[in-house]
Structure 1
Amino acid sequence: MQKKQSKKQGEQREQGERFISLLPCLVALASGILMGLTVAPVGAWLLAWIAIVPLWVIILTSAKRKNQSPLAPPAFFWGIGFHGVALFWITGIHPMTWLGVPWLPSLAITLFCWGFISVLGGVFLTIWAAVIVRLGGKNPWLRVLIGTAVWCGLESLWSAGPLWWSSLAYTQSPQNLVIVHLGQLSGPNTVTAAIVAVNGLIAEGWINRRGTEGAENISSVFSAPLRFVNKYLVAATGLLITLHFIGFFLYSRPITQPPEAALKVGIVQGNIPNRLLRSSEGFRRAQENYTNGYLTLADQGVDAVLTPEGALPIFQRNLLGTALVAAVKEKGVVAWIGAFGERGDSYTISLFTFDSKGEIVSRYDKSKLVPLGEYIPFEGIFGGLIQRLSPLEAHQVPGSANQIFDTPFGRAIASICYESAFPEQFRRQAAAGGQFILSSSNDAHYTASMPFQHHAQDIMRAIETDRWSARATNTGYSAFVDPHGRTLWMSGYNTYETHAETIYRRQTQTLYVRWGDWLTPLLLGLSILGWFVQRVIN
């Protein structure tokens, strides 16, 4: 009897120990999920300022216990929680039967996309955690510096590749436009650095909450009160307030609107479901909706009309025979038309400028293609697998990385769909003289949260470059945004709409446009210096 009881107690103890060993991973996963809730559809942006704290505490307290398992799992689960929730809209591409992909292979492709990007996020967070523990040492200030620098460095590295979307910075857009204005200083990594640093200081305040190691005895008079002061929490509060003051200063600057720089732009949201676009009926409806929308806006006295990505799903050589181009020739109002360009045996997704005579005067080719949807990433590794799952043949190619887009109204900053997530695309064009943003997208194959996140990305790009932005989409959300990120108008979702708004051409250059992301190299350099000094002292 005693043996049975002791055996049962041993099993219970073992289960309890197993649960305790899993607890850090579960807490990290939960805090990562909280970070994922900061973006659409929930938009709980305030959580971004505390959601890294549990992970930070876990990896540092676990490092002090010699009998603990490796530190990688908690950070890995945090990354999966954040990116998995934030990018759940990827699952909206299923089913892809309208593309000819059977239901089960469509589900497999969808889960692969979502799972792969979530795991990749977990890998990056694992690297981040390992660097903090390895290099941070026992100095909390140095840990915050290194943690902030490495996070920004990893986001820069990730955004240089093809699979980028969910930076920490976009957790604040569009709700916290004040802090998003920090992007004018050194791009989105400025906002990312702010979020990580504040989280790190709060976490260090929790870790060092006992014993007031941070309270310095200025004098005997003040030493007693300071005993209850946590300098890391004070620093976190001060940093948060200071950064918002800086952002508010940038946000409060007036926007000049000289009459000679005014440009009245019209947008047509055609609302053609993707499942119809490839059919003759879909093309007929596209021609009808975009031609009628163009004529309506031309009668309202607009200077130009912007259409979405792939508004007319035909090749450039066939555009001149369409009713839309005929309307351009009749009305003499400039049009930016989304269609397919040609490059040898391949094609590009392109935006064409038709002047008042109905002639093509410029063309911009999409240079950042959607992985799996428009090309196969790591084709040498996964190409065979994807091709077995899908009968589609990919012939799409990206545009060159250094394009400029001249229009009858001056040079524009052009962006097609997925490119909104890549701030360097906009910065480069703004530095080259781009005076306003034209964003042309088709988000019809995703859930409603994705177009709203897409709009949040475009808001960040408008703020960072200090430019007015016109955004045309197929099914929503189309919008006009001013240089302070304020949405002047936004369409409904899955609706046919036309709208005209006056935007203004600008030639200002923010610090970010002139210098690029200078903050990340600076933080990395200071981290290396701090680590070296600490080693010398030790």
Structure 2
Amino acid sequence: MNADRGLTALFSALERVAREVALLRSWRRLLAAFFAGSLSVLALPPIHFLPILFVTFPVLVWLLDGLGGPASVVLGEDATATRRRMLRGGAAIGWWFGFGYFLFGLHWIGYAFMVEAEKFAIFMPFAITLLPAGLAIFTGAATALARAVWLPGYLRIVSLAISWCIFEWLRGHVLTGFPWNLIGESFTASDALMQWAALTGAYGLSFIAILIVAAPAFFDPHARAADIHSVRLSIREVLVVPFAALAALVLLWAGGAMRLAAAEPHVASPDDVMLRIVQPNIPQTQKWRPESRIAILGQFLRMSSDPTPEAPQGLGPHSIVVWPESALSIFLAREPYVLSAISRMLPKGALLITGSVRGEPSPDGPADKLERFYNSLYTVDSDGKIIATYDKFHLVPFGEYLPYHRWLESIGLHKLTKLQGSFDVGPGPITMPLPGAPSASPLICYEIIFPEAVVNATKRPGWIVNVTNDAWFGSSSGPYQHLSQVRLRAVEQGLPIARAANTGISAVIDPYGRILAQRALNTAGVIDYPLPHALAPTPYARFGDWLFGLLLLAGAGFLYAFRPR
């Protein structure tokens, strides 16, 4: 009896909230969408409060309900005008939801404009509002598309999940793409939940997440069935879906936990590659000062060679030292004295992998005049020779390249990095052979946020090395969000990842996305850890986003099969 009363109270509360949200009009409706999107950020790193999505996404669904019945079944002389009104309303709700989500999820971008505040602070308000406003176009388009096929009950949740993920995928590809803070990244709150990325990828995790977290919105204020004759029956109909969604979440967690339990622990052998990841914690304001170059080089050499509790003998012949993105503010390939110092630091057989700016002369110009520049990664052997070079292929707009840079620079607009003009683009991704070690896929900074472009499809590497410099973003949530995406790439590909970040967060990550060792943000230190072994290619590594596409097709088939007839 008490259970029945509890279910009745829960049903009544759900019904009341759904109706009140759906009845919001005008600016109140848009303000509610903005707050729902803003609160959704709490599910992302570093807070990882996944339950908030069980509130915010049902609110989004009920706000869309408030636009009226399904647009696909509107009849009468004014049907076209009514559909247009619903689509415009759906786009507005989705835009405001997305604007709140991206405004608070990406506020850390503003930190970069304060590094040289005298030059760039004036642009910060525009950057932290215009970028979220632009990204919110994708969420607005997603909710408009969902409204176009809005169906009763759980079907409208499926249509929202399909349309949302279509436009998440487009956001990751249109205009070079920016797949940051996908809804599926909320699953990185649990090592077990994120294991499903090995099958579906990050976009597929978003689809699964929305199907689950929006389930409380199964109650449809505009589609109460006319043949419900008792409160008990309506309670069962309305509450069975949210309870089934929670059960599905538990099953997903259990499946991921079983995968982790079956994983063999990594035990280092004498022939294993030993990683030493150096995190110098150099402030961005000091990094490019000419008078700091000698001191910074000395810090890197000292941190790379000193013994540690994990490596009391220092570096060995199977060691690989990893320095962060653009570790030294020099053209390393043109500094033989620096290469000589590196060779003295490395024991025979050891390697250094480091980020560096690379310059090339024009093919028809003098050899001493550099005209083409790359954000690069070098592999240096114990003889001080550069044995491999990688040039970044996915550049950051307005950070590493300036669209129409000659015109924009002529009116005083510059990118945040020091070089005039723009970096050139290298080929990628590549698989870089390493003597005495598994081959690696090198990725610089935010290249690792693109799920489908982190490894060479024709030549699978044994691990991924990611060098970055998140010093631009201080102690904000940005470095934590960046790290969560690195973990997802490890799960998707079944590959370990070594990550060296200037100010953090540096880490060694196993092919299940678990952090084996790390250095905290804004601390200096090294990580000594054996390179984990790779897994066999995962389904996502073999098929990429095709499996995600099949999920969307299955969802569309579900809509078609169960649509009202």
TM-score for both structures, normalised by structure 2 = 0.81
Mapped partners of 1:96, 1:276: distance in 2: 10
Q: Which residue of 2 aligns with 1:369?
A: 395
Mapped partners of 1:191, 1:432: distance in 2: 26
Quote how far apart the aligned CAs of 1:496 are: 2.1
Quote how far apart the aligned CAs of 1:19 are: 8.7
Whether the aligned pair in 2 keeps the contact of 1:420 and 1:458 (CA below 8 Å) is yes
Mapped partners of 1:31, 1:316: distance in 2: 49
Percentage of matched positions with identical amino acids: 24
Letter aligned with residue 408 of structure 2: G
Q: Which residue of 2 aligns with 1:10?
A: none
Q: Which residue of 2 aligns with 1:326?
A: 343
**Residue 282 to residue 163, structure 1, CA distance change in 2 (3 Å):** farther
Task: Tell me whether 177-186 or 261-270 shows the greater mean CA deviation.
Answer: 261-270
Mapped partners of 1:208, 1:432: distance in 2: 54
Q: Which residue of 2 aligns with 1:228?
A: 235
Q: Which residue of 2 aligns with 1:242?
A: 251
Whether the aligned pair in 2 keeps the contact of 1:305 and 1:335 (CA below 8 Å) is yes
Whether the aligned pair in 2 keeps the contact of 1:435 and 1:506 (CA below 8 Å) is yes
Q: Which residue of 2 aligns with 1:348?
A: 374
* Cα distance per residue 1:49-71 (max 9 Å; x no partner): 43211111111222339698723
Mapped partners of 1:318, 1:495: distance in 2: 30
Letter aligned with residue 384 of structure 1: L
Whether the aligned pair in 2 keeps the contact of 1:162 and 1:368 (CA below 8 Å) is no
Q: Which residue of 2 aligns with 1:390?
A: 414
Mapped partners of 1:431, 1:47: distance in 2: 41
Matches within 5 A, 1:273-292: 273-292=283-302
Q: Which residue of 2 aligns with 1:86?
A: 105
Mapped partners of 2:516, 2:412: distance in 1: 46
Quote how far apart the aligned CAs of 1:376 are: 2.4
Quote how far apart the aligned CAs of 1:257 are: 3.6
1:413 aligns with 2:441: yes
**Residue 434 to residue 334, structure 1, CA distance change in 2 (3 Å):** same
Mapped partners of 1:360, 1:180: distance in 2: 38
Letter aligned with residue 413 of structure 2: L
Q: Which residue of 1 aligns with 2:168?
A: 155
**Residue 520 to residue 465, structure 1, CA distance change in 2 (3 Å):** closer
Mapped partners of 1:72, 1:478: distance in 2: 40
Q: Which residue of 2 aligns with 1:467?
A: 495
Quote how far apart the aligned CAs of 1:251 are: 2.7
1:165 aligns with 2:180: yes
Q: Which residue of 2 aligns with 1:499?
A: 527
Q: Which residue of 1 aligns with 2:13?
A: none
Q: Pick from 263, 271, 280: which aligns with 1:254?
A: 263
Q: Which residue of 1 aligns with 2:542?
A: 514
Mapped partners of 2:434, 2:293: distance in 1: 27
Say which SS state the counterpart of residue 390 (structure 1) adopts. Answer: coil
Letter aligned with residue 254 of structure 1: A
**Residue 341 to residue 496, structure 1, CA distance change in 2 (3 Å):** same
Q: Pick from 300, 303, 319: which aligns with 1:293?
A: 303
Q: Which residue of 2 aligns with 1:47?
A: 52
Quote how far apart the aligned CAs of 1:20 are: 4.5
Letter aligned with residue 186 of structure 2: T
Q: Which residue of 2 aligns with 1:304?
A: 320
Letter aligned with residue 228 of structure 1: I
* Cα distance per residue 1:320-341 (max 9 Å; x no partner): 3205423246655211121122
Whether the aligned pair in 2 keeps the contact of 1:413 and 1:429 (CA below 8 Å) is yes
Quote how far apart the aligned CAs of 1:515 are: 0.8
Quote how far apart the aligned CAs of 1:532 are: 5.9
Q: Which residue of 2 aligns with 1:70?
A: 89
**Residue 20 to residue 162, structure 1, CA distance change in 2 (3 Å):** closer
Whether the aligned pair in 2 keeps the contact of 1:132 and 1:143 (CA below 8 Å) is yes
Letter aligned with residue 390 of structure 1: H
**Residue 530 to residue 271, structure 1, CA distance change in 2 (3 Å):** closer
Quote how far apart the aligned CAs of 1:226 are: 4.4
Whether the aligned pair in 2 keeps the contact of 1:364 and 1:404 (CA below 8 Å) is no
Letter aligned with residue 421 of structure 2: A
Q: Pick from 494, 500, 505: which aligns with 1:477?
A: 505
Whether the aligned pair in 2 keeps the contact of 1:212 and 1:228 (CA below 8 Å) is no
Mapped partners of 2:194, 2:336: distance in 1: 42
Unaligned segments of structure 2, at least 5 residues = 1-22, 71-81, 362-370
**Residue 253 to residue 117, structure 1, CA distance change in 2 (3 Å):** farther
Task: Tell me whether 497-506 or 183-192 shows the greater mean CA deviation.
Answer: 497-506
Whether the aligned pair in 1 keeps the contact of 2:143 and 2:163 (CA below 8 Å) is no
Q: Which residue of 2 aligns with 1:437?
A: 464
Q: Which residue of 2 aligns with 1:114?
A: 128
When the two chains are superposed, the root-mean-square deviation of aligned CA atoms in Å is 3.0
Mapped partners of 1:529, 1:330: distance in 2: 60
